Structure 1
């Protein structure tokens, strides 16, 4: 795929096609790490979202009646025993 560098304000940008975005599983809010290699090639890598961001993305709209509670794991043994 060919792309053209365009001037945007004081910076520059490249437009990515919808097909390429879908193929790379990218969205407009994703951050990319840009690496320039010794041979002047450019590598773009998506920056992983934090665990908290990913959790909210998956469960942020949950409307159920879930309540936090302590789980019973049995009798204390070994180093877990607190005195």
Structure 2
């Protein structure tokens, strides 16, 4: 696919063809990360929308002993106290 860089306000933009958008499973609100390699080639990487996916990218290799548990915050007050009755 060939694309032309165009002036867009104070910045620049590249139009992507419908075919490329469909093949990459992209929509107009998706975010892309641009990476410039040493040979000056540019790679566009889709940035995941889901926080869980991003969380796993950041912490998926964590091998610690962390376990999810409830924290004790003291006795119920206000509406909390009446919900359990």
Quick one: distance in 2 between partners of 1:49 and 1:9?
26
Q: Where has structure 1 moved over 4 Å in runs of 4 or more?
A: none
Matched, 1:40 2:49: no
TM-score by length of 2: 0.58
- Provide the rounded CA distance (Å) in 2 between the counterparts of 1:33 and 1:51: 16
SS of the counterpart of 1:20? helix
Q: Which runs of 5+ in 1 are unaligned?
A: 53-83
Which consecutive unaligned segments of at least 5 residues does structure 2 have?
53-85
Normalised TM-score (structure 1): 0.60
* Rounded Cα–Cα distance in structure 2 between residues aligned with 1:9 and 1:51: 31
For 1:44, what is the secondary structure of its paired residue? strand
